[in-house]
Structure 1
Amino acid sequence: MSAVTPAVLFDRHEALLNRAIEAIHTREYWSPYSENLKKYPEELVKSAPEDFKALCNQHFELEGPATTKKITGERSPYGLDLGTSYDQPDMGQLVDVMHSLIPQWRDAGPKGRVGVCMEILQRLNDMSPLMGHAVMHTSGQGFMMAFQAGAPHAQDRALEAVVYGWDAMNAVPATARWNKPQGKMDPLVMDKKFTIVPRGVAVVIGCSTFPTWNTYPGLFASLVTGNPVIVKPHPAAILPAALTVKVAQEVLKEAGLDPQIVSLAVDTLEEPVAKDLVMNPKVKVIDYTGSSVFGNWIEQNALHAKVFTEKAGVNSIIVDSVSDLKAVTRNLAFTLSLYSGQMCTTTQAIYVPKSGIDTPEGKVSFDEFAQALATATSKFLGDNDRACMVLGAIQSEATAKRIDECRSLGEIVLDSESRIHAQFPDARIRTPLILKVDGKDQATYSEERFGPISFLIATESTEDSMRLAKEVLDEQGAITLGVYSTSDAVLDQAEELAMDVKVALSCNLDGGVFVNQSAAFSDFHATGGNPAANACLSDAAFLVNRFVVVQSRRHV
């Protein structure tokens, strides 16, 4: 008999669950998992680098169907081969196994599934220092960002999904007695039972730049609602997903459940398996993060499944006037530099009137603003050690090539340069490229150029900036929109624009909050209302489409 049951796990974490429910309804600041590395056991923090190295050049063991071959090939953007290998099962057999596990996971019930999910998250949090190194050496993020975004912040987003799932499932009563009066006749009385039933096998397709942060919401949203989950990581970032699946399998097994309820599917860039997976008719839920090309293909072809996608967009900022030019350019310098612009939230298009902007010191011309931003960015990256920590490494060689290709798209305000990392001399590190273009050159700046590439767009006026931004956002979508203005009327116009194009708006950020950062339990990430993403992380709609309610009724 199992030493622990899913119900026991629910009781263990119920207090945290209730606090998280409160958080999603108030949207105030709250985070259950500390982003402060010093809050974690010192011995785990110290041993994490060696624990990571111990996973390299080894075979990673997980539960799963018979292996067809072993997959390897991860290479750190910091210049070293991981050498870790993973089993690749037959994808059709894997889906069949997962499908056979649906009744068992369904019958664990909402409480049981919540308990299991929260225990998985607790154990993932315990291994956060190790996860930081795994995310760093697959994504290229600097260690502190890899630790925070890849571990506690990702866990925050996962718990948020679990809580929204619990909220949605808990709103449905398990039973009801239906008593309909009939006047002088005996009433009609029935007992009704309502069961949360998962849609089927779920597949989560991860990305290389945020292998946990972008994977966890879909993984835990499907899992908590009863769908066995296949995690299909990007071939360049398998290790963080494998560590996650291993923890999930350990918890499931200890709870008396089949560990394969969460399984790993790996592939290579040369022989991808994602299309075969998502087109299997038993796959009923798909989460995808990545390029618009494949995301659109999934949406158009996987009609048998509920599909949740986050794709490419053109994140934008409109500059009208500022109250503190130095503070604004410092904020933007950090925004453009953080993880070398390899975030789905990083600004690419910055609209500024040709006539300049108003500041307390007087009018600042378009060229003066451009120079101020270039100077602020150069100054911010002046210390090489700090620059390397903030920039991280370029995840893909294709992104590094894109920087070179984009130099000819406009007048260079700040050129991208290579940096040498003190600890990892072979790291692929680049500083931001900032270009000046005219507002009429819409074809140049209206396409996402992934990486540390941004455009200062000279417009006829703030009104023209709003118009151009709307055209681009209507067509391409975005995750973030920013505005700088000392005018309440302009800020109101920007809010109207944000509602029209359905994108999150940030106003006058000039301190410690940046447009490309998103806080779980408070910020909704994406809206699901524009071409950049068809779903929001996380809201009720992200959860309720992952299950159905099946009722059974009988006369009393």
Structure 2
Amino acid sequence: MAWQLCMYINGEWLKTDQQFSVTNPATGDVIERVPDGDHSHAKLAIDAASAAYKSWSSATAYARAEVLQKAYSLMIARKQVLAELLTSEQGKPLKAALNEVQYAADFLRWFAEEAKRVYGETIPSARADQRFIVRYQPIGVVAAVTPWNYPISMVTRKVAPALAAGCTIVLKPAEATPLCAIAVFDILHEAGLPAGVANLVTTLDPAPVGKEFCTNPKVKKLTFTGSTAVGKKLSQDAAPQLKRVSLELGGHAPFIVFDDADPIRAAKGASLVKFLNTGQACISPNRIFVQRGILDSFIQTFTERVAKMKAGNGLEPEVSIGPLVNHAAVEKVSRQVEDALKKGAILHSGGEPLSGGQYSAGHFYAPTVLSNVSEDMLIYREETFGPVAAIISFDSYDQVIKMANDTHYGLAAYVYTENLSRAMHAFEALDFGIIGINDINPTSAAAPFGGMSESGLGREGAREGLAEYLETKLGGFSI
């Protein structure tokens, strides 16, 4: 590995006496050992970011954009190496890892361009002697916490807009995937980012670092991607100082297939997005609603496609299903499937953990298809975050919209229909922040990403993602 296995604080790579191991979830092998930081390292990083803020925030947008553009070019040049690291550390198949690195780089390029488009405005006044000017300025020091399921793209999705806006940042990656974050910060360092502007703290115990992020008055904004429970806790801890908070939390996405849709095309789309990253994606469909008239043909095509999916080490050719993040994740999936089967669900494929042979040291669950899923089952209510598809039949438009909205979450939803009027009505009626209409990939660096209700606050990506790091200042001038 070419980069330093260190934390990155104030432009320097920092080692510690305490370290923790990073393991491959497919094999159980220890990949590397990295520094185990604590609240004191978080405070040191925040101090560095605070000291660097004045000069970075006053740098021209063109200067900030140049650093981000260099980082983009470096990331593209290292795409294969980064993808192989990602697969080894997180588990997703290499093809998916390559796609993630490209997605991560896209955020660097997009916000390099958007940095130069923070325009401000003038507002007419009712008074002849008065002028209003609105200016958008960086919010200050940002603390960021990123997840393990997309350990490169979620870093750039937070770091890139923060830097483009003129903020400085301290980032804590997930304890399961610190190596990917270290590799990204190595790129930022090589791109010429000034000391203290971006800082990285790795730790096995996130609680003390998270508390420092929430309580340190030098931190003006907290951005977090992860579980709803942790997001609520961080929001509560940040509330006494009225910090700006952005939260991208859990999902419970409905995938609705109306009977005027092509069931084969819909089944192909559903299988691709359901088992993306082994189901470990917040936008992964958790409830697949299929209108009764095409239910059998949908299940047949869907099951045939799932049965062909090969589980294993993501570095091996033809593998499309990687490991789950840990044993607890396997147990959660098993519990949901067992509960569903006891309550009358029908098993079409999979239904058990994979063990023995190549699976003996990893965390694998067979890609699973269930139908006849009902409201009293755990899988109907809980986010699965694993390779299990729960298929539910419905009869009418009003019925399925009500069922789809029957959740505390509101991140993503999907609709398959050939009826334009129905598509528009569903788009407006579904209480979710991202809706794919005959589209399983409604995301881009140029598009706003975020949810409603308990799926979070704020948006990432697009102009909205940059606005999350800006304060609005009004000047009233009497002339």
Q: Deviations over 1:427-476 (max 9, x none)?
A: 4333322223454437641221211123212334343112111222xx22
Assess if the C-alpha contact under 8 Å between 2:26 and 2:359 holds in 1.
Answer: yes
Match of 2:445?
520
- In 2, Cα distance between the equivalents of 1:146 and 1:373? 24
**Correspondence 1:81-230 to 2 at 5 A:** 81-86=30-35, 88=37, 90-149=41-100, 151-168=101-118, 170-171=119-120, 197-230=137-170
Shift of 1:134: 1.9
- In 2, Cα distance between the equivalents of 1:426 and 1:371? 33
**Correspondence 1:2-21 to 2 at 5 A:** none
Assess if the C-alpha contact under 8 Å between 1:314 and 1:347 holds in 2.
Answer: yes
Shift of 1:387: 8.5
Question: Counterpart of 1:333 in 2: which secondary structure?
Answer: helix
Match of 1:534?
457
Shift of 1:416: 3.5
Structure 1 window deviating more from structure 2 (241-250 vs 366-375): it is 366-375
Structure 1 window deviating more from structure 2 (318-327 vs 391-400): it is 318-327
Shift of 1:322: 4.5
Q: Does 1:291 align with 2:291?
A: no
Assess if the C-alpha contact under 8 Å between 1:380 and 1:387 holds in 2.
Answer: no
Match of 2:411?
478
- In 2, Cα distance between the equivalents of 1:61 and 1:543? 26
Match of 1:185?
none
Percent same amino acid at aligned positions?
18
Assess if the C-alpha contact under 8 Å between 1:161 and 1:217 holds in 2.
Answer: no
Assess if the C-alpha contact under 8 Å between 1:114 and 1:162 holds in 2.
Answer: yes
Assess if the C-alpha contact under 8 Å between 1:413 and 1:435 holds in 2.
Answer: yes
Q: Does 1:393 align with 2:328?
A: no
Q: Deviations over 1:521-541 (max 9, x none)?
A: 3x4333x44432322232333
Q: Deviations over 1:6-50 (max 9, x none)?
A: xxxxxxxxxxxxxxxxxxxxxxxxxxxxxxxxxxxxxxxxxxxxx
Shift of 1:351: 1.5
Q: Does 1:276 align with 2:216?
A: no
Assess if the C-alpha contact under 8 Å between 2:373 and 2:380 holds in 1.
Answer: no
Q: Which runs of 5+ in 1 are unaligned?
A: 1-51, 174-179, 183-187, 358-363, 510-514
Q: Does 1:337 align with 2:285?
A: no
Match of 2:368?
433
Return closer, same or farther for 1:212/1:422 CA change in 2, 3 Å cut-off. farther
Assess if the C-alpha contact under 8 Å between 1:381 and 1:387 holds in 2.
Answer: no
1:301 to 231, 237, 242: 237
Shift of 1:102: 1.2
2:175 to 235, 240, 255: 235
- In 2, Cα distance between the equivalents of 1:144 and 1:546? 32
Assess if the C-alpha contact under 8 Å between 1:314 and 1:476 holds in 2.
Answer: yes
Shift of 1:315: 0.7
Match of 2:305?
376
Question: Counterpart of 2:30 in 1: which secondary structure?
Answer: coil
Assess if the C-alpha contact under 8 Å between 1:285 and 1:305 holds in 2.
Answer: yes
Q: Does 1:457 align with 2:388?
A: no
Shift of 1:78: 2.4
Q: Deviations over 1:169-196 (max 9, x none)?
A: x4469xxxxxx988xxxxx9x9x99976
- In 1, Cα distance between the equivalents of 2:458 and 2:402? 25
1:265 to 192, 201, 212: 201
Question: Counterpart of 1:141 in 2: which secondary structure?
Answer: coil
Shift of 1:118: 1.8
Match of 1:60?
6
Assess if the C-alpha contact under 8 Å between 2:445 and 2:462 holds in 1.
Answer: no
Shift of 1:69: 4.0
Question: Counterpart of 1:413 in 2: which secondary structure?
Answer: strand
Residue 185 of structure 2 aligns with an amino acid whose one-letter code is V
Question: Counterpart of 1:316 in 2: which secondary structure?
Answer: strand
Residue 518 of structure 1 aligns with an amino acid whose one-letter code is T
Assess if the C-alpha contact under 8 Å between 1:439 and 1:459 holds in 2.
Answer: no
Return closer, same or farther for 1:97/1:491 CA change in 2, 3 Å cut-off. closer
Assess if the C-alpha contact under 8 Å between 1:337 and 1:431 holds in 2.
Answer: no
Assess if the C-alpha contact under 8 Å between 2:175 and 2:206 holds in 1.
Answer: no
- In 1, Cα distance between the equivalents of 2:49 and 2:184? 17
Q: Does 1:77 align with 2:57?
A: no
Return closer, same or farther for 1:261/1:70 CA change in 2, 3 Å cut-off. farther
Assess if the C-alpha contact under 8 Å between 1:340 and 1:451 holds in 2.
Answer: yes
Return closer, same or farther for 1:63/1:384 CA change in 2, 3 Å cut-off. closer
Q: Which runs of 5+ in 2 are unaligned?
A: none
Q: Does 1:492 align with 2:424?
A: yes
Assess if the C-alpha contact under 8 Å between 2:373 and 2:390 holds in 1.
Answer: no
- In 1, Cα distance between the equivalents of 2:282 and 2:71? 27
Return closer, same or farther for 1:395/1:268 CA change in 2, 3 Å cut-off. same
- In 2, Cα distance between the equivalents of 1:440 and 1:424? 33
Q: Does 1:543 align with 2:466?
A: yes
Return closer, same or farther for 1:181/1:389 CA change in 2, 3 Å cut-off. same
Assess if the C-alpha contact under 8 Å between 2:51 and 2:196 holds in 1.
Answer: no
Structure 1 window deviating more from structure 2 (366-375 vs 303-312): it is 366-375
Question: Counterpart of 2:365 in 1: which secondary structure?
Answer: coil
Return closer, same or farther for 1:457/1:378 CA change in 2, 3 Å cut-off. same
Assess if the C-alpha contact under 8 Å between 1:203 and 1:285 holds in 2.
Answer: yes
TM-score, with length taken from structure 2: 0.85
Shift of 1:388: 5.7
- In 1, Cα distance between the equivalents of 2:474 and 2:174? 39
Assess if the C-alpha contact under 8 Å between 2:448 and 2:464 holds in 1.
Answer: no
2:288 to 334, 344, 350: 350
Shift of 1:271: 6.0
Shift of 1:491: 2.5
Shift of 1:235: 0.7
Assess if the C-alpha contact under 8 Å between 1:319 and 1:462 holds in 2.
Answer: no
Assess if the C-alpha contact under 8 Å between 1:309 and 1:534 holds in 2.
Answer: yes
Residue 538 of structure 1 aligns with an amino acid whose one-letter code is G
Residue 178 of structure 2 aligns with an amino acid whose one-letter code is I
Residue 116 of structure 2 aligns with an amino acid whose one-letter code is W
Shift of 1:199: 2.0
- In 1, Cα distance between the equivalents of 2:421 and 2:432? 19
Return closer, same or farther for 1:251/1:335 CA change in 2, 3 Å cut-off. closer
Shift of 1:138: 1.9
Shift of 1:274: 1.6
Q: CA RMSD in A?
A: 3.5
Assess if the C-alpha contact under 8 Å between 1:352 and 1:459 holds in 2.
Answer: yes
Return closer, same or farther for 1:380/1:321 CA change in 2, 3 Å cut-off. farther
- In 2, Cα distance between the equivalents of 1:546 and 1:229? 11
Q: Does 1:247 align with 2:194?
A: no
Return closer, same or farther for 1:158/1:309 CA change in 2, 3 Å cut-off. farther
Return closer, same or farther for 1:467/1:389 CA change in 2, 3 Å cut-off. same
- In 1, Cα distance between the equivalents of 2:416 and 2:135? 50
